[in-house]
Amino acid sequence: MKRILKGNGQNGLAPKTKGTRAAFETGMNLLFFLCGAVAVLFVLFISIYLIVSGLPAIREIGLAEFLFGDTWKSTGKEPQFGILPFILTSVYGTAGAIVVGVPIGFLTAVFLSKLAGPRVAAIIRTAVELLSGIPSVVYGLIGMTVLVPAIRTAFHLASGATLLAAIVVLAIMVLPYIISVSETALSAVPKEYEEASLALGATEIETYFRVSVPAASSGIAASVVLGVGRAIGEAMAVMMVAGNVANMPSLLQSVRFLTTAVASEMSYSSGLQRQALFSIALVLFLFIMLINAALAVLLKKGKKS
Amino acid sequence: MEQKSKRRVLYDRTLRALLWFCAALTCLLLAFLIGYIFVNGIPHITWQLLSTEPSFRSDTIGILPNIVNTLCLILGTLLIVLPLGAGAAVYLTEYAKNRRVVAAIEFAAETLSGIPSILFGLVGMLFFCEVLGWGGSIRAGILTMTIMVLPTIIRTTQESLKSVPQSYREASLGLGSGKWHMIRTAVLPSSVEGIVTGYILAIGRILGESAALLFTAGSASILSANLLQTLSSSGGTLSVALYMYVSERGELEVGFAIAAILMMLALLLNLSAKVAGKKLKR
């Protein structure tokens, strides 16, 4: 087949001579290669930029003091730059969102891929797509006007802008990612597995949870990791509901995340304070890279099995 | 047949109920979000809001500049990312022979899509606004958005290129066309719906983006005299304006109105992506 193709390509159907034509094709090849290379360049560019601009402040403040200092007073007379509160808030907030969001998302995914009829499935799928299409500021707005006042009255607080509010908003925001990735994994489980289980006398539900779910486990794990990445990187919605005070994390207190620490001071910062913000961004970037690596491993594992 | 034990029946029923409950919860959640935004937002969408600039003298708020900024940003980004993303996808599916190169580009795209928007905003601000000296401007926002939506475009285009039957390519090559001619006349036309879907997704992303744009395109709400001036001056999109009005000025009503507009656009985009996707399946 190949030889036939080659023969036809060379027998002079095209108006150009062989030489110019080959040069033209090489040129196109190069052009498209450059387009592809741009993506790689962007990643390198962003990584290098964040590292270069993030390191000076860490060097000046000291790595241990920066990472494990528990006070952030960037504008005081003797400024202190400890980002432990932000790191812990990001970790707790993300963990909370996962604890709330994953069970709901996972069970919805099982329902969607196994139990739902085609019509119901279409409705839920649309709902999930729409949820992921809602801008984060809109989530922030609703959190601000519904959730924050509700938390204030429920717990008799001075302000409802708390870690709890951020966790609920983040849980809703990661839901669509968890549902869609888990559903893809669950739907890819070979029908024979389920049929074998059913034929052995297991009920439908037993089959789904004891056969399908374990078979799709790496895909489901990938969905959780993806959710972690989304939650830890979210800035605006969290900024609108978490109150933005640099406290050590506590469920009913106003807190500041890694993302919001960068966002809230960037517009008026200068000098070491500004550089420290870049360092926070670098820490966030490292977290994200770790999560990305975990995701890549899990997805690869899913593809293999 | 053996009778099912009580425990098994209980297990079965509880889990079944839980599954229904969670699925219903997800749908109700969406219904509540949309309903709440529309009920609170639509009454505040007025012609005056849509068609004027904000004015301190008459103490009115208008979002026309933000609408213009959003359109400029979307069009500008798509113009740049269209050839770039499609080109990268064509390279990956049609040209690349070296597996390692493909893996590197795909890995890069995946990494890009995992980076939070605030980091794009930060790097965009440092490079476009400060190093290049553009200041907070729409063009800085456009380039930042280009980097951000590139992976989405690459992935969707790549998928639709892969779905083009190999026989199309063989037929075209067999008739004597060169590789580029084959791609232009046989591959791209039959995957156009998938490519369009990718662009619709990208528009949705730009529409909803706020963190990255706040630091690169800024948050101004002023109409510029011409396109060139618009591109080089600071301008907030609808999402950024929502954030500014709600957080900085406490104008909840305007916030809800903008949120309702954004939701309507999101619904519209979802619908058009579906239509494009359906055509693709055919």
Start-to-end Cα distance in chain A: 33
Which pLDDT does position B281 carry in this prediction?
Answer: 59
Q: Among A138, A228, A295, which would you mutate to test the B interface (most chain B Cβ atoms within 10 Å of its Cβ)?
A: A138
Residue B25: other Cβ atoms inside 10 A? 14
In the stretch 159-178 of chain B, residues with CB closer than 8 A to chain A read: 170, 173-178
Tell me whether B242 touches chain A (CB under 8 Å): yes
Domain boundaries of chain B, sorted by first residue: 6-44, 47-281
| Dmax (CA) of chain A | 85
Lookup: tokens for A291: 């999560």
pLDDT digits 0-9 by tens, A221-280: 999 999 999 999 999 999 999 888 888 888 888 899 999 988 888 877 778 888 889 999
The C-alpha atoms of residue B241 and residue B48 are separated, in whole angstroms, by 16
Each of the 282 residues of chain B gets a pLDDT tens digit; together they read 456 688 888 888 899 999 999 999 999 999 999 999 999 999 988 888 888 788 777 777 888 888 988 998 999 999 999 889 989 998 988 888 888 888 888 888 888 888 999 999 999 988 888 888 888 888 999 999 999 999 989 988 888 888 888 888 888 888 888 888 888 888 888 888 888 888 888 999 999 899 899 888 888 877 777 777 778 788 888 999 999 999 888 888 889 999 999 999 999 998 888 887 776 655
pLDDT confidence tier of residue A16, bands split at 50, 70 and 90: low
Tell me which chain A residue has its CA closest to the CA of residue B255: A141
Question: Residues B178-181: contacts with CB within 8 Å, 24+ apart?
Answer: B178/A9, B178/A14, B178/A21, B178/A24, B178/A25, B179/A25, B179/A28, B179/A29, B179/B94, B179/B95, B180/A24, B180/A25, B180/A28, B181/A14
Q: Is A73 helix (H, G, I), strand (E, B) or coil?
A: strand
Helix ranges, A134-162 (H) = 136-142, 148-155
What is the domain partition of chain A in residue ranges?
2-61, 72-304
- Note whether A4 contacts B: Cβ–Cβ < 8 A: yes
Q: What is the pLDDT of residue B96?
A: 82
Q: How far is B43 from chain A (nearest CA, A)?
A: 17
Q: Taking the mean position of all CA atoms in its chain, how far away is CA A212?
A: 25
Nearest to B116 among A49, A129, A288 (CB): A288
What's the CA gap between B129 and B137, in Å, rounded? 8
When pLDDT is averaged across residues A115-141 and rounded to a whole number, the result is 91
d(CA B174, CA A261): 60
Q: Does B243 touch chain A (CB under 8 A)?
A: yes
Helix axes A217-233, A258-266, angle to 10 degrees: 30
Cα–Cα distance measured from residue B20 to residue A115, given in angstroms and rounded to the nearest whole number: 9
Task: Please report, for residues A81, A137, A231, B79, the alpha-carbon distance to residue A133 in angstroms, rounded to integers and kept in the order given.
Answer: 36, 12, 15, 22
Whether pLDDT at A116 is above 90: no
- In sequence order, the 6+-apart residues with CB closer than 8 A to the CB of B156 are B194, B195, B197, B198, B201
Q: What is the ipTM of this complex?
A: 0.89
Q: At what angle do helices A271-304 and A84-110 cross, to 10 degrees?
A: 30
The class of domain B47-281 in CATH terms is: mainly alpha
Nearest CA in chain A to B207: A135
How far apart, in whole angstroms, are the C-alpha atoms of residue A130 and residue B231?
31
The residues in B 46-75 lying below 8 A from A, measured between CB atoms, are none
CA–CA separation, A170 and A159 (whole Å): 19
Q: What DSSP string describes B79-98? A: HHHHHHHHHHHHIIIII---
At A28, give phi and psi (nearest 5°).
-60, -40
Mean pLDDT of chain A: 86
Cβ-based contacts under 8 A for chains A and B: 265
Which superfamily does CATH assign the domain made up of A72-304 to?
MetI-like (1.10.3720.10)
In this model, does residue A97 exceed pLDDT 90?
Answer: yes
Contact indicator for B95, A32 with CB cutoff of 8 Å: yes
**Span A113-127, mean pLDDT?**
90
Mind listing the pLDDT tens digit for each residue in A25-78? 888 888 888 888 888 999 999 999 899 988 888 888 888 888 888 888 877 777
Q: Which of these, B220, B216, B211, B196, lies nearest to B78 by C-alpha position?
A: B196
Is residue A138 pLDDT above 80, yes or no?
Answer: yes
Query: Are A73 and A49 a contacting pair, CB within 8 Å?
Result: no
For residue B41, report the phi and psi dihedrals to the nearest 5 degrees: -100, -45
Would you state the pLDDT for residue A8? Answer: 42
Count of residues in chain A = 305
Reply yes or no on whether the pLDDT at A20 is more than 50.
yes
pLDDT at residue B23, as a whole number: 92
